[in-house]
Amino acid sequence: QSLAHNRAKAKATGLPYLERWISPINPFWLLYGSSFVRLCERFGIASENLSRIYSYGWEANSRAEVHEFANSDVVLVIHPGGLQLCVADAEIIYDILQRRTDFRRNMEEMAVLNVYGKNLSTTDDQEWQRHRKMTGVTFTEKNNELVWSQSLVQAKGMLEYWTKRSQQPIRSTSDDTKIFTLNVLAAALFNKVYSFEGQAEESSNRHIDDKSYMYRASLSTILSSIIQIFILGEEGLKARWTPKSWKGAAEAMATFRSYLLGLMDEERMYMQHGQTDRQHLVARLVRACEESDDGKSLDESRKVNMTEEEIISNLFVYAFAGNDTTAIALTNLITHLSANPQTQDWLAEELQHYLPDSDPESWSYDNLKRLKRCGAVIYESLRICHPLSQLVKTTGPTPQPLVVNGKTYIIPAGTSVHCSLPALHSHPKYWGKDPLAWNPEQHINSATHDDKNDSFDAEVLAADTSEHFIPWAWGQRVCPGKRFSQAELVAVLAGLFRNWRVEVVPEEGENLDEAQKRAWKTSLKVDHQGHMLHEMVNPGTVGLRWVRRD
């Protein structure tokens, strides 16, 4: 492969294309690419093309703009390592998602998730079905109810932590939301309840033999070093020449593995004592594994067992998919709400209507479907900033035809196909002339809205998936944690905004309006250098303050 060769392939398709000289999977670029682009921008030496398509996260930052620039909803980006097709049109995205064998999951780009071996996210076909069937059974309404109640408990802890520190602007939101989701996930999937401990408390406390810390610290180290792990592997990270932080990543991998093995041993003990009714993810997987090891005959429907390595790898991938996605979504939500105080009042109206008692312990799970404005705010925030950003497929070994505006184009073999959620979710043809304007109300239909109390019941929340809105994906690979994350996010919004509001703390010389505009602008700039997910580049620059509602 070379740039010239890939250029020839792109030309032959007849589609517009943009060129970059460095492959996105160049190891140096993986570690430092975005920092390099930002440095060039700071010194005013970045070319337009460098700023447009070189950083990690360029697609999320550019949203539909690159398509406007190229005057096409389907654009190729070529580089020395290959071709990437960027797609912003709803019909074409659905076509790609439907043609599951023509456009398969791009396992090369997903291989980063094979930290402990293959798993649900990095398998296809029957192997994938086995993983999905084994792990999916945990995601019941009963489990979502647990997610709801645990999110309320954790939200209370997080709010207490923030409000106790109200003399100083809170700048640790993006770290604290990660602790929040880690705790919710541990309760819902591992049956481990940990109390909320904010970033500052965490570093000041002693953690000898503290399992909750072992889980949180090792998992977050792995997630933040995932690219180094991908490049060097566990053994490579321990090499003499590697920096201390990389060795720390290898240690974290061992610690997280031993934490999971501990959970599995605990589950085996329960089984030995005849307790086989536990439903959380670890229990279900261990039971399946033990039953197959025993050689007991299983009926056909249950013959979908797993090895110990596969259990560990799946527990890891659920921890990956279920934590940072939701934590980043929550940080974005809080920042978006801080920039839009009128939406906070709109939320509080609904929350005070459906949750008349201010004590979260009295808020039952039934309220999830009633809190439509909370749902609308979550949709809107995910529309503007999506933590995953791309659904990544590939044409694989065979060129694939693709119809664009009634004309068939042949997409070369080995093309990475990016269905771009940020482009789809902000395309003017679907979202109007000012697609990035914050407008959660567009997700609610309230034809009969008036000022009477029952007008809240007349409000109807749009479906979480439509022809040009797919934040939890669609089709076979739809997110199995969709309802889980909805329950978690609605509960945390209720816990935070029923009685409190959040304000951006102005920096010196700034008024509140300017501070809010800055918060909004900061939220729009994302990156994923060194990570899999798109996060705000500088979340700590937005200082927040929590104030009790009168």
Q: At what angle do helices 211-224 and 173-190 cross, to 10 degrees?
A: 120
> Taking the complex as a whole, how short is the minimal distance between the CB of residue 489 and ligand HEM, in angstroms?
6
Question: Nearer to ligand HEM by C-beta: 38 or 477?
Answer: 477
Q: What is the 3-state secondary structure (H, E, C) of 248-291?
A: HHHHHHHHHHHHHHHHHHHHHHHHHCCCCCCCCHHHHHHHHHHH
> Taking the complex as a whole, how short is the minimal distance between the CB of residue 66 and ligand HEM, in angstroms?
20
* Number of CB atoms found within 10 A of residue 245's CB: 12
Residue 210 is classified by DSSP as -
Binding mask 131-160 for ligand HEM (x = CB under 6 A): -x----------------------------
- Positions in 352-391 near ligand HEM (CB under 6 A): 382, 387-388, 391
Q: In the bound complex, which residue of the shown chain has the CB atom lying closest to ligand HEM?
A: 481
**Residue 481 binds to ligand HEM (criterion: CB under 6 A):** yes
**Residue 100 binds to ligand HEM (criterion: CB under 6 A):** no
Question: Nearer to ligand HEM by C-beta: 207 or 278?
Answer: 278
* Number of CB atoms found within 10 A of residue 442's CB: 15
Kindly list the distances between the CA atom of residue 328 and the CA atoms of 6, 63, 110, 333, 536, in Å, as whole numbers in the listed order: 35, 18, 20, 8, 8
Q: At what angle do helices 308-339 and 244-272 cross, to 10 degrees?
A: 110
Q: Which range binds ligand HEM by CB under 6 A, 41-49, 322-330, 406-414, 511-519?
A: 322-330
> Binding site annotation covers 419?
no
**Residue 329 binds to ligand HEM (criterion: CB under 6 A):** yes
Q: Which single residue is written with the structure tokens 């970059």?
A: 20
Integer Cα distance of 196 and 155 in angstroms: 8
Q: Choose which of 120, 170, 444, 490 interacts with ligand HEM (CB under 6 A).
A: 120
**Residue 248 binds to ligand HEM (criterion: CB under 6 A):** no
Q: Choose which of 70, 137, 298, 473 interacts with ligand HEM (CB under 6 A).
A: 473
Q: Choose which of 472, 497, 520, 546 interacts with ligand HEM (CB under 6 A).
A: 472
Q: Choose which of 104, 238, 268, 477 interacts with ligand HEM (CB under 6 A).
A: 477
β-partners of residue 78 are: 19, 83
Strands 500-504 and 544-548: antiparallel
* Number of CB atoms found within 10 A of residue 236's CB: 13
Indicate the burial class of 146 (C-beta count within 10 angstroms; 0-12, 13-18, 19 or more).
buried
* Number of CB atoms found within 10 A of residue 253's CB: 21
Integer Cα distance of 27 and 38 in angstroms: 18
**Residue 479 binds to ligand HEM (criterion: CB under 6 A):** yes
> Taking the complex as a whole, how short is the minimal distance between the CB of residue 124 and ligand HEM, in angstroms?
9
> Taking the complex as a whole, how short is the minimal distance between the CB of residue 123 and ligand HEM, in angstroms?
8
Structure tokens at 306: 């797993």
Q: Count residues contacting ligand HEM (CB under 6 A)?
A: 24
**Residue 544 binds to ligand HEM (criterion: CB under 6 A):** no
Question: Nearer to ligand HEM by C-beta: 37 or 330?
Answer: 330
**Residue 485 binds to ligand HEM (criterion: CB under 6 A):** yes
Question: Nearer to ligand HEM by C-beta: 250 or 378?
Answer: 378
> Taking the complex as a whole, how short is the minimal distance between the CB of residue 229 and ligand HEM, in angstroms?
19
Dihedral (Cα; 209, 211, 212, 217), 10-degree rounding? 80
Question: Nearer to ligand HEM by C-beta: 174 or 325?
Answer: 325
What amino acid occupies position 109?
A: E
What's phi and psi for 344, nearest 5 deg? Answer: -65, -40
**Residue 332 binds to ligand HEM (criterion: CB under 6 A):** no
Q: Which range binds ligand HEM by CB under 6 A, 241-249, 468-476, 511-519, 530-538?
A: 468-476
What's phi and psi for 73, nearest 5 deg? Answer: -80, -5
> Taking the complex as a whole, how short is the minimal distance between the CB of residue 236 and ligand HEM, in angstroms?
27
**Residue 247 binds to ligand HEM (criterion: CB under 6 A):** no
- Positions in 291-320 near ligand HEM (CB under 6 A): 317-318
Integer Cα distance of 162 and 169 in angstroms: 9
Question: Nearer to ligand HEM by C-beta: 62 or 485?
Answer: 485
Residue numbering of the annotated binding site: 479
Site residues (vs ligand HEM, CB under 6 A): 120-121, 132, 317-318, 321-322, 325-326, 329, 382, 387-388, 391-392, 471-473, 477, 479-481, 484-485
Residue numbering of the annotated binding site for heme: 479
